[in-house]
Structure 1
Amino acid sequence: MTELSEAQLRRVAEAKTEHGSERAAAKALGMPRDTFRYQIKRAAEKGFLGYKPVLPGFELKQSSAQLDAHGNVEKEWIKQHKEAGPKFEMPAGQVMKGLSAFVDGEGRIRHQWIKTRNDTITPDLVAALTSVFDRYKGRARVVPAPRRFDRNQLNVVPIADPHNGMLSWRPQTGADYDLRIARERLLDKSSDIVALAPRSKSCLIANLGDWYHANDQRNVTPKSKHQLDVDGRWFKVLEAGVEVFMCIIDLALAKHETVEVVNIPGNHDPEATCAMALALRLFYARNKRVHIAFPSDIYYRRFGVTLLGCAHGDKLPPSRMAMAMAVDQRKDWGETAYHWFLYGHIHKETANTIGDVRVESFSTIADKDNHAFAGGWRNAQALNVITLDKRAGEISRQRVNIPPPGMR
């Protein structure tokens, strides 16, 4: 921006003094308010607004006063400095390289510097995984289709936040959880829930996000950079997560003519989920009874008189799910009687009605990590299957509970 002259800065300072508000002063000078705000801050830096606190663009740093015998202020000293800038956001394509700090004599942090570098892991992640899983292309074993099923029914199996690869230690959190336990629990409870489900033509397996605890070998959440407790090498975790999903799909194939799979990226595993969806699509490429949907933050599916939506819940809050569905699916919205939105992220079961939309969250099957334990989050664990009828909407649901750690 062009350097402002002293005359111009005096001019905006006088206008502010004369007209009082920034809006009135900017209007009097015939300039946009943002332009005036920028120039008045520069004028304050030059001292053209005096020194009465707090000047535009500055923050109060220190205030001290001298009082008389009656407690009245005789003199006052004010220290102010430039106000802080906007909250730091990691630039696109960058990751944290390091953090430097300036501390005082007591070891307290006074200033910090964030060092970034180009992200050399994420951009090549899917390409690398494609080559790893390419050998599985079309190798899904053929599971015979069931002979009897109800053509007017759809079984929906929501799986929320299993956090494969998370590590929890009983002495610290009250329960053990690792890659082996996650795999066994997913297979055990999925087998139970499929056995309880009615013989319907189709099954929708909805991974509502955070299938994996970590997105890559950095073992931090991609956006917030929270350190994660993980079990095993990341590629080992990735492969185990894909293989257990294959087993769940095969369980569903034994009881349904068609199986549809949707993978919603979570805040813990946005790229890892896409990689898993790619691996599953390659594995079932020649199986016409399996459809692996494109991984998306929001997924919609119409079945007869029911329109359902899926999201993780970190980007789209429940308060906006109903409106998003109405706008995104105008035609199906008007032609359906029942509207239902499923999400995870909060690790517990809730159900609210917004308009005529049932907005419902589902509990995790995972135990608490140290972060959740320390934060006091205590929720029941379960897996559900909900059956929809083309003409009647939801007609039944079955639930398999996971007992608390002390009762297993």
Structure 2
Amino acid sequence: MSAYLIPAADASFIDVPADHPFPIQHLPYGVFRPRTDAEPRVGVAIGDQVVDLAALANEGLFDHEALAPDVHPFRADTLNAFMALGQPAWRATRSTLHHLLREDTPTLRDNASLRTRVLHPQDDVSMLLPAAVGDYTDFYSSREHATNIGTMFRGPENALKPNWLHLPVGYHGRASSVIVSETPVHRPCGQRKPDDDAPPTYGASQLLDFELEMGFYVGTGNALGTPIRAADAESHIFGLSLVNDWSARDIQKWEYVPLGPFLGKSFATTVSPWITPLDALEPFRTDGPDQDPEPLDYLQPNDHANFDIKLEVQLQTPELDTPYTISQTNFNYMYWSMRQQLAHHTVNGCNVRPGDLMASGTISGPTEDSYGSMLELAWRGTKPIQLPDGSERSFLHDGDRVVMRGWAQGDGFRIGLGTVSGTVQPAQPLDA
């Protein structure tokens, strides 16, 4: 079944400015609560409104077989049940929503009572975590990022490990600490060893960092023992979300040998409340970087598997009135694509399930202003970031707010991936 594309010239009866992140060509999914005493339900963003899909279903406006009367995926506090229905159901739902929101469709446009029941201003709702994340995997798929980190710690001649150009490196992260945007993040505590000649100490991380990443959610999974082919991988991907994988570099440095990240990563991973359907990004496909050596057959095909999505990170300290842009990069720099990541993840027979989250790893570009972490931007603290008020940062301070945004620019419309933000709160040590 081919992608369901919404023409660039289409417009909605709901007014949406050309630079708004949520035009009719987008229709991202999320979970919201319209008021504090209401049950959560599934919604779709259009302009500054949230479309209540549970209310639409109650009106009988979804008539395709995948959403038969006994299936209620929108009267739910997560998207998992809808994700599990598969690509035909996702595309049929997208088609229905597109039709109902068009400027020339009278169903909602001319029925004020129905609009009142179905449309909610975004400012009046609470956005929740969009999925129950059963498993979280974090990859390490930006060549620029891996090269920068390797150069810092091993020198340029040994920047990439021998396996890096042959497979998408990743590790199994902690799903319980995946949180939705705007959730405060407490500075983590743990063991640190700042002095190589002294014993480790316990305390709050002094080297707190962000990581600009893109995540994708698994829709339909696979049976245990049955790999997903690269050619079929995208039919298993429900959609994309911005991710900030917070990192405590001092805790991470001391603990990660020999088995990899643990407490330095597991304290918080922030995601957008909105999930962008893969079909919405179809017009922005592009080829990724040349891969040399050529990957093994199970990681093929990989043509046209990347996406042109502009990304930016802003930092707002307690002294700044507005966030200040410290990094601008692009998702199309990724060396290993989502297609390859999912194929590699399952090639050993590992089963994935609806709602599983896979993150790209830090997305860095080729220039110093396109790096996706403070570790790189400030180059291990040797080149502090200069802020407009004359202050500087090498790592995050308490009270600092990190804001991430992403968008794909079309002809007269923009597909925005929402906003991921979080503010650093003081540590809560054991003796607090």
TM-score range, shorter chain: under 0.3
State the structure with more CA Rg.
1
Question: Larger helix proportion, structure 1 or 2?
Answer: 1
After TM superposition, the score normalised by the length of structure 2 is 0.20
After TM superposition, the score normalised by the length of structure 1 is 0.21
- 1 or 2 for the larger relative contact order (CA 8 Å, sep ≥6)? 2
